[in-house]
């Protein structure tokens, strides 16, 4: 069937390849966001039986000083059909989920049939900028028409200009890191340390079991571009509750109340991931039998960072999406939730289980039930698998689609993003 009951076109997500994920300064450190994206895009396009995609949508979160239109540069370096247009997107940790829903919206509107979506992130190659003052002076020196003008331009240099601008994982408006914000919300929702460590341990155990069981074998690619890594390097078979309990807090070291540690936070990670978005007609261009699921609906929400908490937007987006679809939590068999921090998943669940919160903050006055926690991230999440910001959305979509093709039913994908945003999507097995 080409259309849904209301006449809109069916849209599907198909699993795509990803690199193995590696910790910052690890085996992927020699590749930047372009270099990580190229082999993934080349691998993904091997699935094409004929033609090319109608659009490439790609993103990274950390800005590059030398590349602005990342999607197009990756596509050109991959030496693929130059007539395919590209769009670069950023929505922080939800970047490649936003890439996929952007493509889906174009498909629902009847404009395109097939898009390659994804993202890449090289935390190892974050570029250090100069201050605006220093940059202005150096630009004038470069544009000077002779040594006199150059010297005059250099005369504009002040001591305050001589400072490096090193990007960090910080909220621009508050100056706090993601971790510092998460600490605040963790305390507000009384999420204790042991629950966080237990959740983190589950993430590692599920990831290790999924790797041992072969789940990732056809989702994670190998390449001559990164011969040193074939499997995710972050999941730990040797971690335990005792080891996790011994790690010191890293984002609140002073109050004695800090609970977020290197063990229950997602690590800084390098990697890239892709997925396909297609209409019925677009699927016809994908020759290989890729895992696929129908993309039923999605929702994007934003919160007031100070009032609600930086990472709380999924707790508004999920109930709005489910209420619109007439579904309750128990109707979702698979919950693929981005784990920025173990605590963030736990305070999101607490909010989703709070009818007052749903009514007041999400505007949803319905009994959605209780979140079935045993259905969350059965093959591991960002704490254990890693979190290359731009790639996480495509990683989650691909593994949700593969899992659904094994189990049937529905999946909810949920990603919190810096800037106080959340992006969630609903998939159904076909």
Q: Which is nearest to 235 in space by CA: 11, 18, 40, 20?
A: 20
Rule CB under 6 A: say whether 141 interacts with ligand COA.
no
Rule CB under 6 A: say whether 237 interacts with ligand COA.
no
> Among the candidate windows 69-77, 127-135, 262-270, 274-282, which touches ligand COA by CB under 6 A?
262-270
Residue 87 contacts residue 412 (beta carbons within 8 Å): no
Torsion of the alpha carbons at 32, 34, 35 and 40, rounded to the nearest 10: 130
What is d(CA 324, CA 424) in angstroms, rounded to the nearest whole number?
13
The only residue of 67, 141, 157, 169 in contact with ligand COA, by rule CB under 6 A: 169
Instruction: State which residue, 35 or 267, has the beta carbon closest to ligand COA.
Output: 267
Q: How far is the CB of 207 from ligand COA (least distance, A)?
A: 11
> Among the candidate windows 14-22, 103-111, 216-224, 235-243, which touches ligand COA by CB under 6 A?
235-243
Q: Which of 181, 204, 416, 423 is catalytic?
A: 416
Q: Which is nearest to 95 in space by CA: 121, 124, 75?
A: 121
Rule CB under 6 A: say whether 22 interacts with ligand COA.
no
DSSP code for 161: G
Rule CB under 6 A: say whether 309 interacts with ligand COA.
no
Burial of 173 (0-12, 13-18, 19+ CB in 10 A): exposed
What is d(CA 97, CA 283) in angstroms, rounded to the nearest whole number?
19
Residue 192 contacts residue 347 (beta carbons within 8 Å): no
173 Cβ partners below 8 Å, 6+ apart? Answer: 305
Burial of 256 (0-12, 13-18, 19+ CB in 10 A): exposed
What is d(CA 61, CA 92) in angstroms, rounded to the nearest whole number?
5
What is d(CA 5, CA 10) in angstroms, rounded to the nearest whole number?
10
Instruction: State which residue, 158 or 243, has the beta carbon closest to ligand COA.
Output: 243
> Among the candidate windows 263-271, 289-297, 362-370, 405-413, which touches ligand COA by CB under 6 A?
263-271
Q: Which of 14, 93, 117, 275 is catalytic?
A: 93
Q: Which of residues 79-108 bind ligand COA (CB under 6 A)?
A: 93
The only residue of 178, 208, 220, 312 in contact with ligand COA, by rule CB under 6 A: 178
Rule CB under 6 A: say whether 27 interacts with ligand COA.
no
227 Cβ partners below 8 Å, 6+ apart? Answer: none
The only residue of 39, 263, 381, 420 in contact with ligand COA, by rule CB under 6 A: 263
Beta strands in 317-376 (DSSP E): 334-337
Rule CB under 6 A: say whether 236 interacts with ligand COA.
yes
The only residue of 141, 247, 296, 302 in contact with ligand COA, by rule CB under 6 A: 247
Residue 20 contacts residue 273 (beta carbons within 8 Å): no
What is d(CA 152, CA 388) in angstroms, rounded to the nearest whole number?
44
Rule CB under 6 A: say whether 196 interacts with ligand COA.
no
Rule CB under 6 A: say whether 282 interacts with ligand COA.
no
Radius of gyration for the chain, computed over Cα atoms and rounded to the nearest angstrom? 22
Rule CB under 6 A: say whether 239 interacts with ligand COA.
yes
Instruction: State which residue, 10 or 95, has the beta carbon closest to ligand COA.
Output: 95
What is d(CA 249, CA 244) in angstroms, rounded to the nearest whole number?
11
Q: Which is nearest to 266 in space by CA: 123, 127, 100?
A: 123
Q: How far is the CB of 35 from ligand COA (least distance, A)?
A: 22
Rule CB under 6 A: say whether 198 interacts with ligand COA.
no
The only residue of 34, 48, 112, 244 in contact with ligand COA, by rule CB under 6 A: 244
Instruction: State which residue, 219 or 418, has the beta carbon closest to ligand COA.
Output: 418
The only residue of 116, 321, 332, 340 in contact with ligand COA, by rule CB under 6 A: 340
Q: Assign residue 360 a region: left if phi > 0, alpha if psi is -120 to 50, beta otherwise?
A: alpha
Instruction: State which residue, 202 or 263, has the beta carbon closest to ligand COA.
Output: 263
Q: How far is the CB of 385 from ligand COA (least distance, A)?
A: 12
The only residue of 266, 348, 377, 414 in contact with ligand COA, by rule CB under 6 A: 266
Residue 427 contacts residue 305 (beta carbons within 8 Å): no
What is d(CA 348, CA 337) in angstroms, rounded to the nearest whole number?
10
Rule CB under 6 A: say whether 267 interacts with ligand COA.
yes
181 a catalytic residue: no
Rule CB under 6 A: say whether 343 interacts with ligand COA.
no
Q: Which of residues 371-400 bind ligand COA (CB under 6 A)?
A: 387
> Among the candidate windows 50-58, 100-108, 239-247, 321-329, which touches ligand COA by CB under 6 A?
239-247
387 a catalytic residue: yes
What is d(CA 67, CA 64) in angstroms, rounded to the nearest whole number?
5
93 a catalytic residue: yes
Catalytically active residues are 93, 387, 416
Site residues for ligand COA per CB under 6 A: 93, 169, 178-179, 204, 236, 239, 243-244, 247, 250, 262-263, 265-268, 340, 387, 418
């Amino acid at each position: 069937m080409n259309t849904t009951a209301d006449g809109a076109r069916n849209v599907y997500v198909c699993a795509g390849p990803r690199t193995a994920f590696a910790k910052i300064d690890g085996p992927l450190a020699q590749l930047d966001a372009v270099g990580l994206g190229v082999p993934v895009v080349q691998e993904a396009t091997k699935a094409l039986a004929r033609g090319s995609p109608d659009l490439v949508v790609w993103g990274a979160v950390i800005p590059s000083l030398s590349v602005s239109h990342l999607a197009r540069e990756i596509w050109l370096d991959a030496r693929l059909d130059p007539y395919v247009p590209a769009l670069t997107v950023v929505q922080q940790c939800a970047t490649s989920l936003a890439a996929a829903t952007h493509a889906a919206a174009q498909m629902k509107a009847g404009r395109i049939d097939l898009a390659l979506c994804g993202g890449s992130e090289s935390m190892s190659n974050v570029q250090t900028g100069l201050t605006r003052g220093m940059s202005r002076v150096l630009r004038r020196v470069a544009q000077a028409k002779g040594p006199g003008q150059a010297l005059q331009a250099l005369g504009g240099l002040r001591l305050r200009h001589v400072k490096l601008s090193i990007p960090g994982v910080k909220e621009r408006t508050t100056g706090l890191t993601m971790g510092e914000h998460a600490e605040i919300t963790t305390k507000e929702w009384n999420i204790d340390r042991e629950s966080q460590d237990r959740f983190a341990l589950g993430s590692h155990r599920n990831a290790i079991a999924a790797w041992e069981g072969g789940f990732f074998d056809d989702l994670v690619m190998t390449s001559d571009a990164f011969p040193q890594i074939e499997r995710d390097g972050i999941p730990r078979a040797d971690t335990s509750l005792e080891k996790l309990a011994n790690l010191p807090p890293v984002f609140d070291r002073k109050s004695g109340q800090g609970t977020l540690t290197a063990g229950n936070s997602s690590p800084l990670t390098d990697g890239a991931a892709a997925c396909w978005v297609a209409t019925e007609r677009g699927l016809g261009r994908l020759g290989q039998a890729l895992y696929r699921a129908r993309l039923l609906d999605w929702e994007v929400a934003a919160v007031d960072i100070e009032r609600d908490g930086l990472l709380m937007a999924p707790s508004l987006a999920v109930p709005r999406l489910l209420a619109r679809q007439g579904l309750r939590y128990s109707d979702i068999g698979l919950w693929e939730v981005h784990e920025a921090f173990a605590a963030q998943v736990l305070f999101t669940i607490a909010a989703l289980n709070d009818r007052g919160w749903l009514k007041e903050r999400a505007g949803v006055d319905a009994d959605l039930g209780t979140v079935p926690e045993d259905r969350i991230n059965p093959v591991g999440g960002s704490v254990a698998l890693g979190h290359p910001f731009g790639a996480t959305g495509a990683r989650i979509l691909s593994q949700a689609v593969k899992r659904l093709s094994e189990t049937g039913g529905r999946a909810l994908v949920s990603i919190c993003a810096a800037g106080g945003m959340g992006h969630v999507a609903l998939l159904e097995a076909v």
